[in-house]
Structure 1
């Protein structure tokens, strides 16, 4: 699948502040950038830095008053769906060292508080079969509701409320997977058909010797997701972080199949 991506961010910065942008599609073996163009109206030169795990890149900018960023890209997605139920288990002690941070609790994914639930509800399952069951549980037990959560909502809060947006679905699935011994990380992404159109958040689970994208909202599949960045939770994958105050004027995200 080929996707056209068009993003516009229009903010007013209170005074002057550093801005960290994370909106560029990542290059990778499973997605190819045919073209991309990032334009940021900043009083100082931009500075690019690598994203978490070397996936994608962040961009430092300086905001002063009116701040606008525009991003356009065409991306070809090369990955194909995988049947999780056929993926085998890897003992934790034999997993690659880069998976270790994604086995541990983080600020918004309190996996240690969900271990009892996973053991009770999914005991006897591991790896692919467990990932399949956890994804289905989150999809079936949460209700997608815009405005139902905030930037401080954690996986445990979503588990109690049983509703949220894509960020909350991703946090809960990641926390449950980690509680079950599956390395899991959050992923910011672009996808067509997201309602309302916006930046999207999904999970990525390490099973069967590799990372696999999962969207528990069921709005997208691995075959039409464009990975932007990865991290422990939403803290690491925010599309824009302002080290100061800012007011949103307008923001649009359009993802169209070609």
Structure 2
């Protein structure tokens, strides 16, 4: 399914500042970027560097004037789809090396603290069946409430409050999957159907030798999601990280279906 994407960012800048951007749809086999253009402000330095796990690009900028970014793209999604509930888990000792980091606890996903919970709440399930049970439990238990969390909220905080936004749903999904010995990572995406429209976050789990998207919010589907990048959690794949003072003035994200390209 082709989708169109338009993103605008406006930040005030106080003096020279280094900024790391990751907002472009990744050029990877599961999606084709049919058209893309990004407008960036004048900068003292510009460089593209590879995203985590080789997925997507990050852009380094050093700017001294307002940061104004306008990104437009059309992306055709070609992702292989599967019912995760039917998929087998790979035994930990058979996991490929590149997946092992995604078994470990991370800043926002303290997976080791959830092992007793998953073994009790989801007893009798394993692999994809465990992942489907976790996804459904999160969807039924959490309330989606914009403004209920902030940049410091962890999966443990979300578990206790039972509220959050897509970032929090993804972090809890990841933490519970890792506690179940299933590699899981955070994916920053553009998702059709997300309301209110914004950057979206989903989990990806490694089952039956392949990464599969899981959106515990239920707002988006893998066939209508454009991936930006992945990481252990949100800290690895923020759309903007600044090393210096910046102030958000305006941000907008628009994702729409395209009838024909």
Using structure 2 for the length normalisation, give the TM-score. 0.97
How many residue pairs match? The answer is 258
1:201-240 superposed matches below 5 A: 201-240=201-240
Q: For residue 255 of structure 2, what is the aligned residue in structure 1?
A: 255
Q: For residue 139 of structure 2, what is the aligned residue in structure 1?
A: 139
For 2:15 and 2:44, the matched residues in 1 are separated by 15
For residue 41 of structure 1, give the secondary structure of its aligned residue in structure 2: coil
Q: For residue 189 of structure 1, what is the aligned residue in structure 2?
A: 189
For 1:81 and 1:88, the matched residues in 2 are separated by 15
For residue 150 of structure 1, give the secondary structure of its aligned residue in structure 2: coil
CA deviation profile, 1:52-74 (whole Å, cap 9, x unmatched) = 00000100011213111111110
Q: For residue 88 of structure 1, what is the aligned residue in structure 2?
A: 88
Q: For residue 53 of structure 1, what is the aligned residue in structure 2?
A: 53
Q: For residue 167 of structure 1, what is the aligned residue in structure 2?
A: 167
For residue 101 of structure 2, give the secondary structure of its aligned residue in structure 1: helix
Q: For residue 152 of structure 1, what is the aligned residue in structure 2?
A: 152
For 1:180 and 1:79, the matched residues in 2 are separated by 25
For 1:195 and 1:88, the matched residues in 2 are separated by 32
Deviation at 1:80, TM superposition (A): 4.2
Deviation at 1:244, TM superposition (A): 1.1
Deviation at 1:27, TM superposition (A): 1.1
For residue 135 of structure 1, give the secondary structure of its aligned residue in structure 2: helix
Matched, 1:18 2:37: no
Q: For residue 117 of structure 2, what is the aligned residue in structure 1?
A: 117
For residue 131 of structure 1, give the secondary structure of its aligned residue in structure 2: helix
Query: Does structure 2 conserve the Cα–Cα contact (< 8 Å) formed by 1:42 and 1:61?
Result: no
Query: Mind listing any 5+ residue stretches in structure 1 that lack a counterpart?
Result: none
Query: Does structure 2 conserve the Cα–Cα contact (< 8 Å) formed by 1:34 and 1:76?
Result: yes
Deviation at 1:245, TM superposition (A): 1.2
Query: Does structure 1 conserve the Cα–Cα contact (< 8 Å) formed by 2:53 and 2:230?
Result: yes
For 1:112 and 1:173, the matched residues in 2 are separated by 13
Q: For residue 101 of structure 1, what is the aligned residue in structure 2?
A: 101
For residue 14 of structure 2, give the secondary structure of its aligned residue in structure 1: strand
Q: For residue 31 of structure 2, what is the aligned residue in structure 1?
A: 31
For 1:255 and 1:89, the matched residues in 2 are separated by 33
Using structure 1 for the length normalisation, give the TM-score. 0.98
Query: Mind listing any 5+ residue stretches in structure 2 that lack a counterpart?
Result: none
Moved over 3 A (4+): none
Q: For residue 177 of structure 1, what is the aligned residue in structure 2?
A: 177
| CA RMSD across the alignment | 0.9
For residue 223 of structure 1, give the secondary structure of its aligned residue in structure 2: helix
CA deviation profile, 1:75-130 (whole Å, cap 9, x unmatched) = 00012431112211211000100111000000000000111100111122111101
